[in-house]
Structure 1
Amino acid sequence: MTNLFKYGSCIFLMGIIMDYIETWKEVIQRPSDFYRRMPTTGGYNEPITFAALSYLIYWLLTALFNRGMMRGMYGYGGITEFGFSTAIITAVVALIMSIISIFIGAAILYVIYKVLGGSGTYEGTFRFISYATAVMVVSWIPFIGWIFGLYGIYLYIVGGMVVHDVSMVKSAIAVLLPIVVIILLAVIAAMFVVSSFFSAIV
């Protein structure tokens, strides 16, 4: 009975992995076709599973292959060795935070798309964001990962355009607006810190 359970579990996991790989290839290679075929309803299990696997791969590979950065992050806490177990813990914690960020990001984008005349739903927004995490699988690669990050923005724009039935220009505005706001806030905060520093020494 135990062997049968293990065999069934392996078959189940292999099925999930194979489905993930097929979906991943469709999202990366033919995003427009994928999003047009993507159901905008049907629950959150499938998109969450896909996003969870994407983020797990990203954080695990980031932790394992960028140990110098991770060791620096943990060095202050007295952790000098960044081994496989630490990488697993880091990946799991980061995975949970990443999934939470999808729910929050979907809510923000949903409101922006609605303001711009979009007709999609929150669930549809959550779904296209979740599948856009496909780029995370390769975004961890040092020096060139940012290129895939740009492609991820493109996936967001295409997904929002299809789900909310808006033009690419409006979809680009919806996707880029939060990024611009965050950058502006960061610049303002930096200017405030610099101004306070010079005021203190004058």
Structure 2
Amino acid sequence: MDQPGHPAGYDALPGGESRTPWERRQELGLVQGYFQTWKSILFKPDEFWSGVSPTGTLWDALSFGWVTVALGLLISLPISLLQSTGQQAQLDQVMAQAQGQIPAEMERVVRMLLGAGASAAFHVGSAVLYPLFFFIGAGILHLFCLLVGASRNGFNATARVYGYANAPALLSGLPCINALAGIYVLVLEAWGIGKVQQTTYGRAAAAVLMPLVLLCCCAIPAVIFGVVALVGAAAQ
């Protein structure tokens, strides 16, 4: 039963905290618990994060993110396989125009990387290894939460935000939606850190965006160096 002062679908815990519908899946059912949570995160994020306990179990957030990513990969797999078929056709044209100038070993590697088998392996591997990616991603996010002073409730709170904020990943494999889904994940992370870590949204946004800024600062020089190296090698 919903409690006064808590969002619909949430159950009160001692101390005024609450459980998300996903955390009540044994009571609500797996499917209903999942989609109530997913819908609330996407369309009522402020209400959702207000009902997330920083002291809840880490497994609930990890399992929600795992199910979401696995379903998203399953949805995107047919699209990815179709794209692989198109890429193979384009590769055939490139190879025909190259007229044997590309080494056979390189052609074999490129075909393998662009093939349907590689695409399927990537999807399966990403789903299987999600727990590892979860702890790496949550750890990086919490490190920057510590740096900006947004870690009041500890790593568990950050990790729970990280797992639940993956809700848009269900749609990330759909063309024209994947970029928006990725941006919304960042928005949800900042929103969740602000609420669950009980900090300002400015600090929460800084914790979420600083790793991306740092990555770009490192990646751009690396790309420039790689291009220069390739041009230099081709000129010799």
Asked if TM exceeds 0.5, the reply is yes
Percent identical = 24
- Contact map agreement 2:53 2:196 (CA 8 A) in 1: no
Give secondary structure in 1 for the equivalent of 2:165: helix
Match of 1:156? Answer: 189
Matched residue type, 2:112 = G
SS at match of 2:196: helix
CA contact 2:81–2:116 (8 Å) conserved in 1: no
User: Which fold has the larger relative contact order, with Cα–Cα distance below 8 Å and residues 6 or more apart in sequence?
Assistant: 1
Q: 1:70-85 residue pairs with structure 2 within 5 A?
A: 70=84, 76-77=111-112
Task: Please give the secondary structure, in 1, of the residue aligned with 2:56.
Answer: coil
Instruction: Name the SS for the 1:190 alignment partner.
Output: helix
CA contact (8 A) 1:128 1:156 kept: yes
- Structure 1, unpaired ranges of 5+: 1-11
Q: Which structure is higher in helix share?
A: 1
User: CA RMSD, aligned part only?
Assistant: 2.7
Superposition pairs of residues 1-202 of structure 1, within 5 angstroms:
15-70=29-84, 76-77=111-112, 87=120, 90-118=122-150, 119-200=152-233, 201=235
Q: What secondary structure is seen at the aligned counterpart in 2 of 1:63?
A: helix
Question: Could you tell me how far apart the structure 2 residues matched to 1:24 and 1:43 are?
Answer: 18
Q: Give per-residue Cα distances to partners, 1:121-147, cap 9 Å, x unaligned.
A: 111111111001110111211023211
Classify the secondary structure of the residue corresponding to 1:76.
helix
Letter in 2 for 1:92: V
TM-score (norm 2): 0.70
Q: Contact 1:135 / 1:152 at 8 angstroms: preserved in 2?
A: yes
Normalization by structure 1: what TM-score?
0.81
Match of 2:95 in 1: none
In structure 2, runs of 5+ residues without a counterpart are 1-25, 89-108
Q: 1:55 is matched by which residue type in structure 2?
A: V
